[in-house]
Structure 1
Amino acid sequence: MISQAVANQWISSALKRLEASTVPFAAGKGWGLGFRNGQAPADEPYLVTTAVVAAGLRNAAELTLESASELTARARLLRDVALTGMATWMHPDHTHGGHHGTGLPYYSPSVPIRIFNAVALALAEVLLDSPYSEAEVWRRYESLIQDEFIPDVGWPYSTDSQVVDLVHQAFIIDSFQIRGISQQRAIDDTLLVFATPFGYVDAGIAAVSQNAANHGRLEYAVQRGETWVHRKPSRARVWSLGAHLLVLANALPGDAEWAHQSRTSARSVAAELIASRQREDDDWKFPRQSLFAAVGILALVAREREARTAQKSPASTRQKD
């Protein structure tokens, strides 16, 4: 583990880069990729990127609270302008969010697609902070996302795509979990869809029939409830497994239930990640993928440590007696 001093150095360096790379986003600030992506310009702010950064800033402020007040203040200031940007962009009164008072906001100014995981992550950050947390409009968006859940399968990628992939299931589930809303049913369904005798599958196409020939190269299909999931090859296995591991590590059931179910599943996912690393799969060459793998593994280590500490506590000892 690293020391607080080293953590502060890393956080300071990250804050400096984030401060230098903000771009205007609605009434606040946001972040994008820093390079052209399709038709979107290099300075395009993305809802999902801004949400991920806002979550990181929230964690940075918590980590530095007792050791470096200046870093805490900088993290909170950046987070505030990010929240302003996201809240303004998503609000029905904002004319550029794409919702026009109905539906979900768009992914970005140049990408008029309603992508569920992007809205879910942004909503989670906005709902965690006042003065936005009491706004009824956010609850309506939350309900719209919940309504898109396909029983026994999970969430499709967007209103225009029936792709159901592991990494974005994890993002949506975690967006509820960080606010204390259990998603055990969604976790169970996701596990059943993506865990197979052949290992973990990263993506599929949800369809009402067994025929999905128009969706490009597919591997095979399985029936889940009233839906057929057509397995689709993906190049994001490490990213997917890391995000999935994060969800399992953060699962909210009581300790006994988590130990019985989620821990076993989490260790299985971790074993798959380790095997992938030992094979030197190409996924590990991409920083975004290896970063999510590290985040997932560290979350599991932290949860295991919490469980051991709880077992050794006086209260735990008294309960056994």
Structure 2
Amino acid sequence: MLTGNNSYSGPTLVNQGLLAVNGTLASDVTVQDGGVLGGSGRIGSLTANAGATVAPGNSIGTLNMTRDVTFAAGSRYAVEAAADGSSDRIVSGGSAQIDGGEVVMLLDQQNVLNGEGGGSAIGQYDILQAQQGISGQFDGATTSSPFLDATLSTQGSQLTADVARNDTAFASVATTQNERSVAAAADALAAGNPVYESILASGSAGQAQQAFRQLSGQIHADIASAQVNDSRYLRDALNSRLRQAEGLATAPDIKADDGGAWAQFVGAWDHASGDVDATGYQASTYGVLLGLDSAYDDWRLGVATGYTRTSLDGGYGSNADSDNYHLAAYGSKQYGALALRAGALTPGTGLIRRAR
């Protein structure tokens, strides 16, 4: 990085690596194959040879030059553009000679799931201004998004990049049925919708696929599945308690007194495997179950309640926590050596927190 006022007039060569000029450099700068020139300062003049990259700014910024700018065939002009309409650009006090090369529009990769985003990557960006005019043209322009194309136009001293939606459907880059369903729904949203714009500015097909997976809502099905699985702990506890009271099993995990009150602590770990369409998850559950029952002739009737907490880690960084409250009535009837056992359980209800 070069800062301050550098007044030496000899040539500056960038042969490899990055030179970021954030001050003033009076020298003429030549960028060679493998070199990168960036920064938001001022230089004397610029020549970008084949294999060179010019990337103004440190993020988005303007690189100024007192004299001329030249892009040779095979050079690369990398322009970072934001959804608010701002972009990198070059401002020259001389003329611009463009003998080929490529413009690459690096679009701001918004992520509405992380609270980012706003605006649209679609629009016109002023990327080069030469006070004494522009001669020649770049070979073409591309964008970092598979869903956007860029075209270049020159009007007098101004070079503009026009970024527009292409014909590539969101679903065309999806790899699973879940992704395709989400992609089709997102593609049907109106321009300006933050979800639509976030996917539109994806830096690659892989980033779009990641967005589809995050938006799929699989974590909601995962935590519902885990809650269904967790309900067996109360069912098993009630059955074990009745067998314990009938003298058919010791049930060491259930602590009971002679009055029919009992308690059981719960601790368990679950794992669900994934497949081509959905990821698996890992979940842990802990809590306590309490009950009270009493014998009436050949009947034993009771009620039970409990609290369990489930923590689940799903795929692609999603997770959920569930506080579950349980209530049940249960009983058994002895018919000699035969026992009939039954119960009624309310679904575990409570607060569910999800993140994805």
TM-score by length of 1: 0.26
Larger radius of gyration: 2
Report 1 or 2 for greater relative contact order, CA contacts < 8 Å, sequence distance ≥ 6.
Answer: 1
TM-score by length of 2: 0.24
